[in-house]
Amino acid sequence: MDNMSYAVTVLSGGMDSTVLAHLSKGLNEKVDLVSVDYGQRHRTELEFAARTADKLGCRHDVVSLPIGEALSSALTDTDVDVPHGHYAEDNMAVTVVPNRNAILISVAYGIAVARGATTVQVGVHAGDHFVYPDCRPAFVDQLGVALKTGNEGFGQVELVAPFVHQSKTDICRLGDVLGVDWTDTWSCYEGGAVHCGRCGTCVERREAFRDAGVEDPTEYADPDYAFEVLARGSGS
């Protein structure tokens, strides 16, 4: 076991982490997939994560960790205004968990240390940098250094983010090369039976397929909205 490449890969069930799971499977002798049920509004994605785990034949643990609930209960009845207005915007609902990536990565890292894995792989990518500081390369680098120090003697696990300098369009292109079945992925923040086509992540999804020149097999409740927004230039 000692020299094998063994990745614990964080899989949300979205496009980015699903492509990452396929990439990890190619790169590593052994891959375990970990999803975190943190009470996300779009938890449908967890069912899509299970599909990918099944297809790749990887061990898949869904860790139930209500950080959203815990933090929001800790945030209620505070006498200080939450200083970030955009948290309240509809398509930013998921960002209601401050410091989310550090928490999720720390949990995955704990699992990796306990299992003797060699890497933790996460799908953060360059398209998220502008909005989310916890998707920036410097953050991933610094957190990786801290976690190695904090587990010295118990395991030497590298934190790896292969897409940190790539766009979502790049990830879509790679997924196409890897043969990812996109119907195994879920992006929408709304909890509907099909992708809404209107939320921020649906618009981003359509844009990535378009720009990568990859056919998008996704069924959208509103198939026109995204391209109208993108044509107006107000999409990302």
Binding site for a second copy (CB under 8 A): 1, 34, 59, 61, 63-67, 69-71, 73-75, 78, 80-84, 97-103, 106-107, 109-111, 113-116, 133-134, 136, 138-139, 142-143, 145-147, 149-155
Q: Which is nearer to a second copy, 130 or 228 (CB)?
A: 130
Q: Which is nearer to a second copy, 38 or 209 (CB)?
A: 38
Q: Which is nearer to a second copy, 151 or 214 (CB)?
A: 151
Q: Is 119 annotated as a binding residue?
A: no
149's enclosing H/E stretch is helix 137-150
For the CB of residue 110, give the shortest distance to a second copy in the complex, in Å: 3
Give phi and psi for 60, each to the nearest 5.
-135, 120
Q: Is 199 annotated as a binding residue?
A: yes
Which among 9, 105, 108, 16 is positioned nearest to 58, based on CA atoms?
A: 9
Give phi and psi for 201, each to the nearest 5.
-75, -30
Strand partners, 37: 64
Q: Which is nearer to a second copy, 70 or 214 (CB)?
A: 70
Q: Which is nearer to a second copy, 139 or 220 (CB)?
A: 139
C-alpha torsion sign, points 107, 109, 114, 117: positive
C-beta separation of 117 from 32 below 8 A:
yes
Q: Is 20 annotated as a binding residue?
A: yes
For the CB of residue 147, give the shortest distance to a second copy in the complex, in Å: 6
Q: How far apart are CA 28 and CA 65, in angstroms?
A: 27
For the CB of residue 12, give the shortest distance to a second copy in the complex, in Å: 16
Q: How far apart are CA 153 and CA 147, in angstroms?
A: 12
Strand partners, 35: 62
Q: Is 135 annotated as a binding residue?
A: no
The set of long-range contacts for 211-218, using a CB threshold of 8 Å and a minimum separation of 24, is 211/169, 211/172, 212/169, 212/170, 212/172, 212/173, 212/176, 213/173, 214/172, 214/173, 214/175, 214/176, 216/182, 217/182, 217/183, 218/182, 218/183
For the CB of residue 33, give the shortest distance to a second copy in the complex, in Å: 11
Q: Is 35 annotated as a binding residue?
A: no
For the CB of residue 84, give the shortest distance to a second copy in the complex, in Å: 6
Q: Is 15 annotated as a binding residue?
A: yes
Q: Which is nearer to a second copy, 85 or 179 (CB)?
A: 85
For the CB of residue 161, give the shortest distance to a second copy in the complex, in Å: 12
Q: Is 58 annotated as a binding residue?
A: no
Q: Is 160 annotated as a binding residue?
A: no
CA geometry: angle 102, 21, 70, nearest 5 deg: 30
Give the residue numbers of the binding site.
Answer: 11-21, 188, 196, 199, 202
Give the residue numbers of the binding site for ATP.
Answer: 11-21
Give the residue numbers of the binding site for Zn(2+).
Answer: 188, 196, 199, 202
